[in-house]
Structure 1
């Protein structure tokens, strides 16, 4: 770590939970962010600002005017550009220390598995169950922690699924096979600051896991009601019958 890095990250290095060792861990870390929308935007900004060494950004979509009220990594001038290119420019302007890998296509099959294997941690900031289930399966197979977030209307949630821990559930333990009939933000709406809160919490959970401090949300689902500004927590247990991490899934 050079003098400029010591200065840049000095305020978080002052925290005894992070210190020099934790900051060096962050600088060496590789994180995959799936989705550069409402959740991925603040998450990527905070991880880049914190000095995570390499961010792998994956999104096949382009910036639309309707994104701008909540996807704060993109600017009006970026409308029509791919989200990974737009986000990449913003992150490089924020912190030139951070190395970026841009994937401007949907992550599927072996491409997804390889992307997950090549990083230390994954943030699922996607907006559909099929992607969430696929990312969850890839993380479990590779033994990589997954920080999952979701938000719609005025409700959001965050959890951590860590296959390195025998007691940790996976995403599929909580939601089964999912519900592809669920409404999207484009159909149901969402408030901007809520996705900012969820994405920021995802970044915080990622930093805790990477630098090894605090108590991550493993086995806990944090629910946020933005209408009443209330938080509540649910315990989530591993499902022995889960098709991903349970006995049935392991036999496949």
Structure 2
């Protein structure tokens, strides 16, 4: 465990006051490593909050550059970031928030062995991508390597959150819920639009669930699908079950 100094005790004092967190939980955060796939609308608040909360090492994966159209919702970036790689723009912002957090960047599309290596190097993965193909690949990597996966999605006025943990035999995986034949364009904000604060809501929930898992406090949203309808101001929790015929995780059932 990483021992906190006086500056750490002050920086994280509001979390240390939480009996569920306390010193032990904060120490776990400081020793944790998280892979964030996608530094866009969802990945921005996830990265900002995890760095601020004291996660020791953040691995950022995104092969895109910042575009003017991103700035409506991707709060890790700013006007001066246009044309810059998103992982580098996010790195600069995160170091301003918490210089103690170590940042490792993957300015490429993680696939195959590179994806497996990136997932193997961390304790938890946050899927903040906007393509079904990426989501299924990340899910398979997390299942194979027994890493918890915090998945978020947001489109138009609707968002959802789920947590999958291959370390638990009763946990479903992403492929238990969604058809692997799903089309990428169904998730693309560039095709469908999205309300700016919606990604902040879902990304913040992803950060909350990540911190709970890493600090080992509370009950993670495993076996649940949280949905948020911003137009109707409705949030629902649906129960999920492991699919015995799942093409991804049934073999380990």
For the aligned pair, the TM-score class normalised by the smaller chain equals over 0.9
Q: Is the 8 A contact 1:176 1:242 kept in 2?
A: no
In structure 1, C-alpha distance between the alignment counterparts of 2:187 and 2:147, rounded to whole Å: 29
Count matched residues. Answer: 249
In structure 2, C-alpha distance between the alignment counterparts of 1:99 and 1:26, rounded to whole Å: 12
Deviation at 1:94, TM superposition (A): 0.5
Q: Secondary structure at the match of 2:202?
A: helix
Counterpart of 1:87 in structure 2 is 90
Counterpart of 1:198 in structure 2 is 202
| Two-structure CA RMSD over aligned residues (Å) | 1.0
Counterpart of 2:32 in structure 1 is 29
In structure 1, which of residues 5, 9, 13 is the aligned counterpart of residue 8 of structure 2?
5
* TM-score (norm. length: structure 2): 0.97
Counterpart of 1:154 in structure 2 is 157
Counterpart of 2:111 in structure 1 is 108
Counterpart of 1:208 in structure 2 is 212
In structure 1, C-alpha distance between the alignment counterparts of 2:187 and 2:42, rounded to whole Å: 17
Question: Structure 2 matches for 1:200-239, cutoff 5 A?
Answer: 200-239=204-243
In structure 2, C-alpha distance between the alignment counterparts of 1:142 and 1:52, rounded to whole Å: 21
In structure 1, which of residues 243, 248, 252 is the aligned counterpart of residue 247 of structure 2?
243
In structure 1, C-alpha distance between the alignment counterparts of 2:227 and 2:181, rounded to whole Å: 18
Deviation at 1:183, TM superposition (A): 4.9
Instruction: List runs of 5+ in structure 1 lacking aligned partners.
Output: none
In structure 1, C-alpha distance between the alignment counterparts of 2:108 and 2:244, rounded to whole Å: 34
In structure 2, C-alpha distance between the alignment counterparts of 1:151 and 1:217, rounded to whole Å: 17
In structure 1, C-alpha distance between the alignment counterparts of 2:108 and 2:121, rounded to whole Å: 17
Counterpart of 1:56 in structure 2 is 59
User: What are the superposed Cα offsets for residues 161-192 of structure 1, whole Å, 9 maximum, x if unpaired?
Assistant: 00011100000000021411525111110001
User: What are the superposed Cα offsets for residues 193-213 of structure 1, whole Å, 9 maximum, x if unpaired?
Assistant: 100000000000000000011
Counterpart of 1:184 in structure 2 is 188
User: What are the superposed Cα offsets for residues 105-127 of structure 1, whole Å, 9 maximum, x if unpaired?
Assistant: 00000000011011000000000
Counterpart of 1:140 in structure 2 is 143
- 1:193 to 1:178, Cα distance in 2 relative to 1, 3 A: farther
Deviation at 1:225, TM superposition (A): 0.1
* TM-score (norm. length: structure 1): 0.97
